[in-house]
Amino acid sequence: MDYFIERNKEKLIDITRRVLMIRSVEGKYEEDAPFGRGVKEALLKALDIGNELNFKVVNLNDLVGYVEYGEGDDIISVLGHLDVVPEGNNWKYSPFGGEIHDGKIYGRGAVDDKGPTMAALFGLYALKETGLKISKRVRIVFGTNEETGWKDMSYYREKVKEPIIGFAPDAQFPVINREKGILNIILRKDFVTLNDSVKISGGDRSNVVPDRAEAVFKSRIILKSDNPDISVDGNKIFAKGISAHASLPEKGKNAIVTLFEVLESVELPLEVREIVDFVVNVIGRDFYGKTLGVDKTDEYSGNLTLNLGVIKVTENYGELSFNIRYPVTDSYERIVDVFKKQGNNFNLNVASFKNQPPLFVAENEPIITKLIKVYEDFTGEKGYTLSIGGGTYARAMDKGVAFGPYFPGMEDIAHQANEFIGIDHIVKLARIYGRAIYELAR
């Protein structure tokens, strides 16, 4: 398989670029495009590629699709996703151009998760073309709603009766068998008095550290700030930050917090002031929720992390959206209770919350022992299990783990500007994923 993949790597590069050139950010619901036109286009493109590679392809109502190879009652699944987070700002190349520079393919989704998904597909293609015999069916599943709601996986689980066993190519090597719980919380304040003084907005998704925020005042604002991340234009104050994945908030710089720090010195309506005070004094730049009182750590998965991802202040209300990654031994109920108590001190209420339970798979499970052996044979390095703060489709399986795409020592650039995947890296992924699929399905 290795020789086949190396000899045909231009085809791998081509199929990766083709899906990267589609802006598959969740869009407006349409009857035949439940997650928007861009997401549907990416799904259809991936299925077209599956057809070109002579696989059986299945489209489940434009919510999720898969390619399948092999025969048998048992199925090994690789669950990837084609949807991406918004591109944000500060790109040096087009985020949807699929451009190649210095041996790297640039684009939103290059490493999260279009590139690794195409690598897994190509690994299966190499297995098929080289005639290796397997005893199970293999599916490469193309998810379309991983970044925003997992409705695709809910639908897939309804339609698929067989146990879902396999891996998600959406984290790190060697093997991820522990994933923190993911809790999204919205705090809201409905204004008693109409706010006609200032409108505030920032961020796009709670699972991304926001790289921009702005306050728009009714009249011209006079503000002196030495902060290079702050700019003033007439009646507007702009703050810039650095985007990062919400599971690693320390890798980013939160533009909402930066904006609110300067708003502390600006005259504001009382109800807006309470929101600003809450963010600056209770949230701040504390990635672990110590000031808020939600901090927690355990030996299995490490620290709780906290990200304020979205702010919206209108005439009638203010809303804050948080993304919390909590340890596998923690409970979401505890965190919600703390938010309720702390929010009440600033007249903020928990408007809604959504929880994804943690993942924990025992180390002696065959899925883990086989993948660790694949990793060790491929790299020559000792395999082991890891915990992450990110959430992958592994937790949508009956027995699943995350396997790659980052090798030890590589920097996580998911959700950041200038996201890329190295050509050498994606070829390496196709090789290890081909081996993994073979060992699990033989």
In this structure, what are the phi and psi dihedrals at residue 132, rounded to the nearest 5 degrees? -65, 140
Q: Which two tokens stand for residue 113?
A: 């998760």
Only one residue has tokens 């067989």, namely 162
- The partner residues of 212 in beta bridges, in order of sequence, read 240
Which of 6, 26, 356 minimizes the C-alpha distance to 185? 356
Please state, in angstroms and rounded to a whole number, the distance separating the CA atoms of residues 315 and 24. 32
SS3 (DSSP) at 102 = coil
Exposure on the CB side of residue 436, measured as CA atoms within 13 A: 39
Please state, in angstroms and rounded to a whole number, the distance separating the CA atoms of residues 116 and 122. 10
Please state, in angstroms and rounded to a whole number, the distance separating the CA atoms of residues 145 and 139. 18
Instruction: Say if CB 181 and CB 328 are below 8 A apart.
Output: yes
Please state, in angstroms and rounded to a whole number, the distance separating the CA atoms of residues 177 and 400. 8
**Which of the 8 DSSP states describes residue 384?**
-
- The partner residues of 325 in beta bridges, in order of sequence, read 182, 305
Only one residue has tokens 């489209």, namely 59
* For residue 358, cis peptide bond before it (omega within 30 degrees of 0): no
Q: Which residues are catalytic?
A: 83, 146
Instruction: Say if CB 167 and CB 371 are below 8 A apart.
Output: yes
Only one residue has tokens 């077209």, namely 48
Listing DSSP states for 411-436 in one string gives PP-TTSTT-EEEHHHHHHHHHHHHHH
Please state, in angstroms and rounded to a whole number, the distance separating the CA atoms of residues 255 and 285. 11
